Chains A and B, each alone.
Chain A
């Protein structure tokens, strides 16, 4: 009898260990595929930007987009992950930051740690997405060197500092003000949109965009179908992005980034409803396929902050409003003399701002954990203000410094000739499609 009990106890212990390990590996597998899907975002941005470029700039735009990814991953290893772990308290360095130093034992293959690498990978992809948002706005006239420096700064410093403050279980915006933004509408989209706005002011418009009287000309991309398909790829990738925003708890319920319980089902309901609200909102406003797909993206971003709590029809309405307003915001940006080639400020900046504020308007009172403050409009406004200032201030200041050193903008003759002919050793369309005469 005693022997049987001992055997059963041993079997039970082995079963528990096996179940736990299965859960750990399931968690790794889940985030692994989120990372793969997030790379689809970059395929989308690549097609989107190349399609939105004139034929004379197609490959240069593609190279720029690819290099953003290439430089952000290593720099996110060097210091991005450390920043996230270091600054949830504001400007003081947390003890946990030691685990994010690039020479830490957790920052490489380690049989005692199945989590760090896969979370680092997911966050590195969030970083690359953030930089790609800025990438589209500045096409056809930014210097590659200046762009790479801006992309590294945005992707591996600025957004992740914002994430540490407001998208971290111990971030001060949450612990002090109950800030709630489960889908990163603020730290990714609002910061990137505001950063892009700061850069665009110093970069200036493309030659020919504005007339002497200040009126704007339409500079169409060379391949709208490519742009629209690119936008749809971004939407596909967003399911990886948003999946990466939820925490797989081994043996327990999912939680959001703040540790509050949620489900992947909640994200499914509200991502799809926000997306479709956005598609329809932009269609009603413009009947333009570019804006419809951009509107779908705005719809997801608008619903992102409260994906875990929305009643799905509310996510639909929030997405509809965000996308209906986005073309109006884009027109306001243009009227201010700013040339945002892909409306990144309107899509991501406005969408992120509206998403964070909508969470305060319609989700106030949702409880927090560990006696931290509940969701409130004031908390959301404070968070939005912090992200807006962080993104715009850093983008404006850094691009101003680059401008002073002559590293921001290509010379006018190269811009007129086209960046492909200036510096790319290939032709995008060696037969058939020819670039328009210099504009």
Chain B
């Protein structure tokens, strides 16, 4: 997969992967945001499940 925005180093400025592809940048940004939000939601469910077990059984 060729993700490089440059073909030579002379005169290169922003050279990170997909620097020349705004759609891919936005897609990756959205993906990372989904990971952050999704992880918080996942953590909330796990936490709630643990609390319910303790409330019902007195232990996890």
Contacts and interface: CB of A to CB of B under 8 A. Distances in A.
B50 A414 contact: yes
B38 to A, nearest CB: 12
B60 A423 contact: yes
A414 B15 contact: no
Nearest to B46: A423
Given A149-B40, A414-B51, A422-B51, A111 B13 contact: yes
Interface residues of B, number: 26
Contact of B14 (A110, A145, A410): A110
A385 interface: no
A176 B41 CA distance: 43
Given A103-B22, A422-B54, A111 B12 contact: yes
B55 A413 contact: yes
A222 interface: no
A112 B58 contact: no
Contacts of A423: 46-47, 50-51, 60
A252 interface: no
Contacts of A103: 22, 25-26, 29
Contacts of B50: 414, 422-423
Given A103-B29, A411-B54, A413-B58, A109 B44 contact: no
Q: Which of B22, B29, B44, B54 has the most CB of A within 10 A?
A: B54
B54 A414 contact: yes
Contact of B40 (A109, A148, A413, A417): A148
A82 B33 CA distance: 16
Interface in A322-340: none
Interface string B13-38: 11110010010011001001100100
A422 B59 CA distance: 7
A109 B26 contact: no
Nearest to B41: A145
A407 interface: yes
A403 interface: no
Interface size, A (range): 20 to 34
A50 interface: no
Contacts of A143: 47
A255 to B, nearest CB: 27
Interface stretch (A71-79, A130-138, A277-285, A360-368): A71-79
Contact of B33 (A78, A110, A149, A413): A78
A74 B36 CA distance: 8
Contacts of A149: 40
B35 to A, nearest CB: 8
Contact of B15 (A78, A109, A421): A109
Contact of A411 (B29, B33, B55, B60): B55
13 contacts: A103-B22, A103-B25, A105-B13, A105-B19, A108-B16, A112-B13, A410-B51, A411-B51, A411-B54, A413-B55, A414-B54, A414-B55, A421-B60
Given A109-B16, A144-B44, 20 more contacts: A71-B36, A71-B40, A75-B36, A78-B29, A106-B14, A108-B14, A108-B16, A109-B15, A110-B13, A110-B14, A111-B12, A113-B13, A144-B43, A148-B43, A149-B40, A411-B55, A414-B50, A414-B55, A422-B54, A423-B51
Interface of A: 71, 74-75, 78, 102-103, 105-106, 108-113, 143-145, 148-149, 407, 410-411, 413-414, 417, 421-423
